[in-house]
Amino acid sequence: MTDTPSRPGAYLLTLNPDHVTPMGQRPLDLSTVARDLEGTAQRLASRARGRVSGDFIKSLRVGRNEPHTLAVVLDAAALDELRKKYGGALHIEPDHDLDMFGAHAGLWPGGMGPDLQGRGPRNFFTQGSSALILEITVKGEDGKPVAFAEVAGRGSAPFSLDNAVTDAKGKAELSFFGDTPTSLRELRVSPSKDFWGRIITRPDLTGFPKRNGKLQVTLTLDRLGAGDGEQDVWGYQAMALPKADSFAPDALAPVKIAIIDSGIAAAHEDLEPAGGRDFTDRGGDETLWREDSIGHGTHVAGTCGAVFNGRGICGAAGPGAALYGLSVFPGGRTSSLIRALDWCVENEIDIANLSLGSAAGTAALQAAVIRATEAGVCLVAAAGNSGAGVMYPAAYAQVIAVAALGAEATFPHDSPHHDQRGAHQSGRYFAAAFTCHGPQIDMAAPGVAVISCVPSETGAAYAAWDGTSMAAPYVAGFAARLLRLRPELRAQAGAARVAALKAALLGCCTDLGLPADFQGRGMPVWRMSPEDSARGASVIDRLEKVSRDLSQELA
């Protein structure tokens, strides 16, 4: 019998700052380590068809400085050799896979995202005559079919589960072993865009006709309403951001916000990204960040910075935000995130939104977080969707960790968002069932039934998703407004500005009465006073005066 070999693993290499170099020896540097690994890279590349040695060693650096990290691919033999050669002089850590903390409302409770983790296995016992087969047509209130909607059903037997996706005619087929038109426990629909999802518990299918042995079932969905004029979605209202729109001077410099995610669908009419960069392994094309095959980054970007154009939704950052799409998905790893953070440093980004993370931190990632913070990049991260402890990088002290909230009457009572009610509720607000929690949480924001942009061939589409991924960009956008409108914040630099901005955010938080581990200080609510507005107006006056004085001097 031939054993199946394991694939090489991905690792991060950094220098151990506590290692003492013996007298007479030259201190180790990562360029030397990279050169030593070239032979290993060539050996591995020769085994992997279509890959070159450069795919196995990546030097991560800021500008033209010496590399601070190596992202490498090593097999067991090379890893063992590396440890023996360098010993304690080198930190060797896993290059963890990154997860996205949010997506559409899953078909089943706990479903997380486009890959539909948590949905049931297909029913393999449906070939007999006792199978109940449903031919389901999903349509809108106008009678038009809804394509690419995920449909699932749960029968009475333990493994009586099935799911499918509607075709261009809005049709999908489900089958259940041993069930009848009155024994199904649940039907769910999760549309890809433009409609609310729907749950039907204990569906009664006795009134539907049968054709070719299949019950002809019709499910009608309600439209989201986004796209019909410009909509103040519930999170925008809850954070009192409409009040901030009354004072949005164009003369102030824009705030630069990086959306580190899966890219931004630049063709969406509600998004006008200022630039970006791709950090995936798709080939280095500098335009790839403008595409978003997953949709996650586009949804996050819309919540944070959708433009004010009279259509769609309002972005939390308001007018004057410059969005940059930094794509680390698909295939995101810690090394991808580190490269994106370094880009933020090099390009003087003000705020970076990280709706992603991993269950484990690394010394290399923490060092990248510290570099970015010291350079003045305010990092806002989603806490995670596992319902357990806060994930990384949100768990780092330098990062603003955001938990997810929901609110009553913000989604249809029969939609899948209903499943996201957690055990903690105060007034109309509840902590989302999925949100990670712990003492690292700084604040909470809307993260259930969040309507935002998704990619579409038509140029504009919207979907309601759940996740801490959806909550973080509300905070990032809120922070951008503060930074733009408060001169004393813009006047500072580096880590001092990040600390001042975080303090200002915390000062805006309202205690919702939820446990501190689930809400931190509370939810940011806009409270800019008339005095603040007058102060901002005086800044514009001073800017205009400086401009006039310069014009006179040049004349």
Q: Are 295 and 454 in contact (CB under 8 A)?
A: yes
E strands of 41-130, at which residues?
57-60, 69-74, 90-94, 99-100, 103-104
With beta carbons less than 8 A apart as the criterion, state whether 335 and 60 touch. yes
Kindly report each contact of residues 410-413 with a partner whose C-beta sits within 8 Å and lies 24 or more positions away, as own/partner.
410/234, 410/448, 410/449, 411/196, 411/448, 411/449, 411/464, 412/196, 412/198, 412/222
Q: Do the beta carbons of residue 473 and residue 455 sit within 8 Å?
A: no
Nearest to 464 by CA among 475, 453, 474: 453
Q: Write the DSSP assignment of 269-300 as a string of letters.
A: TT----EEEE-SSS---TTGGG--SSSHHHHH
CB atoms within 10 A of CB 413: 9
To the query of whether residue 469 is one of the catalytic residues in this protein, the response is yes
Query: Which of these is catalytic: 160, 327, 456, 469?
Result: 469
Secondary structure (3-state) at 302: helix
Which candidate in 96, 268, 296, 299 is catalytic?
296
The label of the residue with tokens 């969040």 reads 450
Say if CB 304 and CB 330 are below 8 A apart: no
**Amino acid (1-letter code) at residue 107:** L
Burial (Cβ within 10 Å: 0-12, 13-18, ≥19) of residue 481 = buried
**Amino acid (1-letter code) at residue 364:** A
- Is 129 one of the annotated active-site residues of the chain? no
* Chain CA centroid to CA 23, Å: 48
3-state secondary structure of 277: strand
- DSSP string of 313-325, one letter each residue: E--TT-TTEEEEE
Query: What residue type is assigned to position 467 of the chain?
Result: G
Q: Two tokens at 448?
A: 């259930």
Largest Cα separation within the chain, whole Å, is 92
3-state helix, strand, coil in the chain (%, to 5): 25, 30, 45
Q: Contact at 8 Å (CB) between 479 and 381? A: no
Separation CA 54–CA 379 (nearest Å): 30
What is the identity of the amino acid at 333? R
Determine the straight-line distance between the first and last CA of the chain, rounded to whole angstroms: 87
Q: Of 95, 179, 194, 261, which one is the catalytic site residue?
A: 261
Strand pairing class (69-74; 57-60): antiparallel
> 99-100 and 90-94: which strand pairing?
unpaired
Instruction: Examine the residue annotation and report whether 418 is marked as an active-site residue of this protein.
Output: no
Residues 507, 500 contacting (CB under 8 angstroms):
no
Q: Which residues are catalytic?
A: 261, 296, 469
